[in-house]
Structure 1
Amino acid sequence: MKKTLTLLFLFIFLISFSQESINFENTTFKEVLAKAKREKKLIFMDAYASWCGPCKLMEKNVFPLAAVKEYYNANFINARFDMEIGEGREIAQKYQIRSYPSFLFLNGDGDVVMKNFGYMGGEDFIAIAKEANNPLLVNSNPKALFEKGESDPAFLLNMMRQNAQTDYELAKKVSERYFKVKKDQELTRDDIGMLLYFLKSPSDPNYQVFKDRKANIVKEMSEDIYNQFDVNIKISKVMESSLDQNTGVINDDYFYKNAIPLVGKAEAETALNRMKVIYYPNVGNFKEYEKAALIYYKNADDFDPEELLKAAWIFSEHVDDKISLKKAEVWAEKSVMKSENAENTYILAKIYAKTGKKDNAKIYAEMSKNIAQQQGKDSSAATQLLQSLK
């Protein structure tokens, strides 16, 4: 009797333990695929690494949540593989898994229905599962479904996201169908982001959506930003062609010749300088950046102080002309006037030092050092600047 009770308690313990988390299959990937096909379910795969902290936190904090295990156990064939041992290495290579944890939703043929990654809370973890769990995808390849004309909005949205980085042209075609389906519905902020991501030219079918839905889009962004997007869309190909790939320099003459007929002289000039202040710092051409920034930020009151501070920082690091640096003083001062912090006071101090305003430089370098120390931040840059000003 005692032995029977012991076995019974052990059995109950094992059942309760198995329900402590998502029920992961303890078998090969091939067998997981076969089971998914047999039961007409999608596969959820936790692709992890033994050393990965966020992976352990998901296992400890999220997988055991009642709502999580209930949804995943009811709707998926669940599997876990360490991507650095055994067949996990082949899986990692096949699905190009480079960050952990990665979460894959696959059909029985091994096609990716959805892919996500990183630590997330229970609600978000269930949300991605619900998004992936489209009955259309259980037995069908997403691309084949699309080619057959599938127009389910959730399916199209998911397909756009999954292919945006790996097959841009396919994702762009999917986006065109998606926005046709959404023609009588309000666009969400995410929808607008997708629309703009795939919109490169006025000849794109979605450009008409952009124009027709202006009122909807302007609810999510200012009209000024909408107009900036409109200008950039109209001249995006001109921008691309105006960049000399050999020298890395933008050909102003070519740009103006082709852009002015599309958007007018004033818009073309603004767009060109906006392009330059984004492009030139990234390629290390600070002489051209200096010229463009002085034109683009001429009316400093039209710009956010944080954008001006970024320009001031680049000038403090890479510009020596004192007349140019005087302009950067104004940009940095606007940020400091809005709210003093360790970063903007340091940048202003550095610019003052370069323009010969030693006393001002000392005041703001000291301020930067004190703010940094009070907030537990690194104050070494401000300290070094103070020492150089002695």
Structure 2
Amino acid sequence: MKKILYIILFHFFLFTNAQETNKKQETINFVSASFKEILKLAEKENKLIFIDCYTSWCAPCKWMDKFVFVEKDVFTFYNKSFINVKLDMEKGEGPEIGKKYGVKSYPTYLYINSKGELVHKSSSKMSATEFINEAKNALDPKKALGLLEKKYEDGQITNNEMLDYTIALNHLRDPKTDVVLKKLLSRVDNTWLKTAAGWKLIENFVNEDDSELFKVLNSNKAHFINLAGLDAVKKVYQKPLQRNLYKSSKEQNEALFFKQLDSLKKLTNNPRDLAIIECGYYLNGNNARKFIKTSNYYVDNFLQNDPETIAFLARSTLYPPERENKDILNQAQLLITKAYKMDPNNYGTVGTYAQIQSKAGNKKEAIAAAEIAVKMADTISSKVKNRALQNLQEIKKAN
């Protein structure tokens, strides 16, 4: 009987271990080898090399490992299309490769050919769909960043290719973005700017209402509505208008602010944007009565299922830090408590709850929430983790 039991247990553990092994294999298949060997393997298999540039302390890198690399569509596509390498940027060949390919943030994703030439590059935490799209861009000569960069440097790049190059640089927050954008604008005329490619440029780079691109948009509004649709055009108009609203709010220019706010309401009925901007105006003026009335209006009528925006309104009361207004603080407590009850698993909400409770003098409750926020920050980013730890220490030191 004991012998049979041992056999059953033995096979059970074998089965369990096999399951665990299979689970571990359901991710991107990263090859362990020297960079020189990886290049040879890529040449032999006629594939590009994908390098996940990470560090041991990078929270977004861990998030990608845990939630994106394990997606079936992701690892199936990457295992089929690339020689995959995971490289710690602080160990072994990492620092040298990071320097060679301009890796300045983590995670950064490099797509390299068998000659060691950069074909494409992207960075940051992203969804599975976005991550697969980056891989497809790497495999498409018309969209691969490295190939576009080479064409640009050789002076062999078309206007449409330069457009894609500029957008890719902007996505990476590359300091060359403005230089390339100005060069592109010097090459194109109004005829090109009125094409689908020109609209793509306007859509991505109109931020100020005194820019040349905005003037083109404004002078040809009916044309672009016909080309891209009314909603898309309204969305572009919103960006410079909202910038102007923040400026007039800060300056407390009441007449200009509400004129601009009326204009914004014609472009969007998004209650989040309107609530944040209007409540922000009253906070900038330290007007407790109007802030309470306006925040209650939006929360009661439009934000009943939007704890993130409610938390944002509460968080806005924390700035400037020297603000001392008991009525505003009381309203902030009501707002953040409501948001916290609705969504206790949101890092921003939990962190804000801790800060507001601390400011209100509820130290024990503030510390408890701040400690939860620190744990939650592990899956977001190293910067957020550091900020969460800093908030916790500040709360502990507060009287």
Gaps of 5+ in 2: 1-13, 265-273, 301-309, 342-352, 363-399
* Alignment partner of 1:309 out of 275, 279, 286: 279
Q: Deviations over 1:200-248 (max 9, x none)?
A: 743x7x964774443145623565973985xx9xxxxxxxxxxxxxxxx
Instruction: Give 3-state SS (helix, strand or coil) of 1:97's partner.
Output: coil
Instruction: Give 3-state SS (helix, strand or coil) of 2:231's partner.
Output: coil
Find the counterpart in structure 2 of residue 220 from structure 1.
231
**Structure 1 residue 334 corresponds to structure 2 residue 297:** no
* Alignment partner of 1:82 out of 88, 96, 100: 88
**Structure 1 residue 297 corresponds to structure 2 residue 297:** no
Find the counterpart in structure 2 of residue 196 from structure 1.
206
CA contact under 8 A between 1:42 and 1:77: conserved in structure 2? yes
Instruction: Give 3-state SS (helix, strand or coil) of 1:24's partner.
Output: coil
Q: TM-score of the superposition, structure 2-length normalised? A: 0.56
Q: 1:166 to 1:210 in 2, by over 3 A?
A: farther
* Alignment partner of 2:28 out of 10, 22, 27: 22
Find the counterpart in structure 2 of residue 116 from structure 1.
123
Q: 1:18 to 1:225 in 2, by over 3 A?
A: closer
Find the counterpart in structure 2 of residue 101 from structure 1.
107
Find the counterpart in structure 2 of residue 254 from structure 1.
none
Find the counterpart in structure 1 of residue 392 from structure 2.
none
Calculate the aligned-residue CA RMSD, in Å: 5.0
Q: 1:114 to 1:181 in 2, by over 3 A?
A: farther
Task: Output aligned runs, 1:226-375, within 5 Å.
Answer: 226=237, 276-277=247-248, 289-290=251-252, 293-297=253-257, 302=262, 304-316=274-286, 325=287, 329-330=289-290, 333-339=293-299, 368-373=332-337, 375=340
Larger Rg: 1
| Partner Cα distance (1:308, 1:210) in 2 | 26
| Partner Cα distance (1:228, 1:343) in 2 | 19
Task: Output aligned runs, 1:169-188, within 5 Å.
Answer: 169-174=179-184, 185=196
CA contact under 8 A between 1:46 and 1:103: conserved in structure 2? yes
Deviation, 1:81, is 0.6
| Partner Cα distance (1:56, 1:224) in 2 | 34
Instruction: Give 3-state SS (helix, strand or coil) of 2:295's partner.
Output: helix
Find the counterpart in structure 2 of residue 166 from structure 1.
175
Deviation, 1:129, is 0.8
CA contact under 8 A between 1:41 and 1:138: conserved in structure 2? no
CA contact under 8 A between 1:44 and 1:106: conserved in structure 2? yes
| Partner Cα distance (1:276, 1:138) in 2 | 38
| Partner Cα distance (1:63, 1:224) in 2 | 33
| Partner Cα distance (2:144, 2:65) in 1 | 26
CA contact under 8 A between 1:45 and 1:78: conserved in structure 2? yes
Q: 1:79 to 1:309 in 2, by over 3 A?
A: same
Q: 1:145 to 1:93 in 2, by over 3 A?
A: closer
Q: Which has the higher contact order (CA 8 A, sep 6+)?
A: 2
Q: TM-score of the superposition, structure 1-length normalised? A: 0.57
Q: 1:90 to 1:51 in 2, by over 3 A?
A: same
Find the counterpart in structure 2 of residue 131 from structure 1.
137
Q: Deviations over 1:273-307 (max 9, x none)?
A: 758447xx6xxxxxxx34xx334235597263421
Q: 1:182 to 1:132 in 2, by over 3 A?
A: farther
Instruction: Give 3-state SS (helix, strand or coil) of 2:122's partner.
Output: strand
Q: 1:187 to 1:55 in 2, by over 3 A?
A: same
Q: 1:162 to 1:200 in 2, by over 3 A?
A: farther
Find the counterpart in structure 2 of residue 380 from structure 1.
357
CA contact under 8 A between 2:245 and 2:257: conserved in structure 1? no
Q: 1:224 to 1:62 in 2, by over 3 A?
A: closer
Q: 1:115 to 1:83 in 2, by over 3 A?
A: same
Q: Which amino acid aligns with 1:380?
A: Q
